[in-house]
Amino acid sequence: MQTFKGTKIVNGIAIGRIKIYKTPDYVISEELVSDIGAEIERFEAARVKVQEQQNALYEKEMKEGRKDTAGIFEAHAMMLDDEDTLIDPCKEIMAEGHTAEYAVRAAFDNAATEFSEMEDEYFRARSADVIDLKNSMLDVLFGNDTESLQGTEPAILVAEDLAPSETVKLDKSLLLGLVTRLGSSNSHTAILARSMNWPTLIQCHDIADDWDGKFAILDGYNSCIYIEPDQKTIDELSAKQAEDKAREEKLKELKGQPSVTKDGRKVKLYANIGGPKDIQAVIENDAEGVGLFRSEFVYLNSKEDPSEEAQFAAYKQVLEGLSPRMVIIRTCDIGADKTIDYMQLDKEDNPALGFRAVRICLTRPDFFKRQLRALLRASAFGNLGIMFPMIISLWEVKKCKEILEECRKELEAEGAKIGKYEIGIMIETPAAALCADELAEEVDFFSLGTNDLTQYTCAIDRQSANLEPFANTHHPAVLRLIRETIEAGHRHNTWVGICGELGADPTLTEEFLKWGVDELSVNPKSILPLRGNVRNADLSKFKTESPKAVDPKKEPKGFFGRLFS
């Protein structure tokens, strides 16, 4: 038996034969051709076909409720219309007498290199998209059936890396697990693997061609793969796999059950979603509400600035479809790694610390008011929470509320019906966490965005694969800020939730409950496992004291007043 380590993306056990997946290494002729027009026609036919394939993959992912991954293929289809970067360079090469295959390889490789050398992490990541499109174009031009590369029997698929289109085309009934030599935890392959819940290992650098056909066990829990395991390992991990399947069936019994600890502590379990397509996932997984509706996807999925009516329709659909559940909608969080051409944002050296989220909204009031008006109108159709992201100071909250009140008065004057709603903010910066007492006086709730809170507290770019060895999601500074934010919120009767990745971390559930968190918002598929953790927790062994309410007469004014009191 041989054991090889990697980085786990999805827990779980996969047992079976290995299938090595290799993208064809096409031999492209450099000889010139006489019929240039015919080559351009072949190129155009291939481009149209690949664009149709990408659009079909987009529709498929949207239909199955995977909006994040659908956006990958929508972007690919749009890239194939890029004349300056891809189309014109290909035609110029073919005009010299080269074949369509030669032109695609040369032009797409050149574009990928340009992207890879850019300073911006987001644009560097687009290099992989261009290579994916190049391979798809060559598959069509050479008449290759990419799907046949998977084989015909269920197997653990092992590859150098997988492009998004390759991953989605895989026959799920034949895929036991996935292992790649390359990739990062934020790569497209990782995103797709999580959404499809495949046991997955990346950065397994010891992959070898002679693995093909060998019996293996992928152990996601221990971040490794066993090649030709001994009988003891087979027996132990087969039992673990059976336990996992039994646990999944058992979890279904938790539907309709209260999210209450053994000693009676109640916590709300909400879902994170990207749009109306996720309504069914919320219902099927028995989420008690939505703790994070990422409204930026309304913008990302539009080719122009969405109108008030378009936004109102999307928000109304979710609120009405999930009523009486609470739905917390985060206002537009564009910027950093989420960019949109029609917003014409300037290129920044450090976009994660730049012009994003509420900073855009407060400097573009007309843009902001369109969304706030749509949200207020939608509030008449359900139970709404309006949440402002990337807050760092009190004046920002007051300004957001001022503009919201201005929109409310306008709509009332127009005779529009407005329902009840709560106002909250995301605590995702150390600045907000340290000023939580002041901020809590202005809002109904806090939601801790632990992904960005970790990034900004630890100075670790969450998109960078190179920094993964330095990243610590359980960093004591982050956990301390979470605890102190919960306590600060409760001192002012402001309820506090967690909507980042840590909310679904089973090793922290009991700790969060002990600190008094009111709500946990996670991926819909994590709702039932999390409910099981909550119902198994017993906090009676901990001595807990509720934070005392603030006495305005005794409390020192401001953060520095408390710091030096």
Instruction: Write out the catalytic residue numbers.
Output: 188, 499
Whether omega before 324 lies within 30 degrees of 0, making that bond cis, reads yes
Instruction: Evaluate whether 103 touches 94 at the Cβ level (below 8 Å).
Output: yes
Token pair 């009523």 is found at: 323
* Cα–Cα dist 323/272, whole Å: 16
* Cβ neighbourhood burial of 513 (10 Å; 0-12, 13-18, 19+): buried
Sign of CA dihedral 171, 176, 180, 183: positive
Q: Computed from CA positions of residues 240, 242, 245, 251, in that sequence, does the dihedral angle turn out positive or negative?
A: negative
Residue with the two structure tokens 């219902």: 283
CA distances from 321 to 94, 167, 317, 441 (A): 53, 32, 6, 32
Closest CA relative to residue 450, chosen from 424, 425, 474: 474
Fill in the amino acid letter for 271.
Answer: A
Among the listed residues 254, 402, 373, the one whose alpha carbon sits nearest the alpha carbon of residue 312: 373
Give the CA radius of gyration of the chain. Answer: 26
- Phi then psi for 257, rounded to 5 degrees? -85, 150
Name the residue among 33, 44, 209, 192 with its Cα closest to residue 128. 192
Please name every residue paired with 380 in a beta bridge, in sequence order, or none if there are none.
none
- CA 439 to chain CA centroid, nearest Å: 27
Q: How far apart are CA 31 and CA 16, in angstroms?
A: 45
- Cα separation of 394 and 381, whole Å? 30
Q: What are phi and psi of 350, to 5 degrees?
A: -135, 75
Q: Phi/psi at 268 (nearest 5 deg)?
A: -90, 135
543, with CB counted inside 10 A (0-12, 13-18, 19+), is exposed
Rounded distance between C-alpha atoms, residue 521 and residue 517, angstroms: 11
Q: Where are the alpha helices (DSSP H) in 252-378?
A: 279-284, 296-300, 308-322, 358-363, 365-378
Name the pairing type of β-strands 383-388 and 215-219.
unpaired
Hey, what are 333's tokens? 């969080």
Pairing of strands 155-159, 13-21: parallel
Tell me phi and psi for residue 491, to 5 degrees: -65, -20
Phi, psi of 461 (to 5 degrees): -65, 115
As beta bridge partners, residue 383 has: 326
Phi/psi-derived region of residue 65, left when phi > 0, alpha when psi is between -120 and 50, beta in every other case:
left
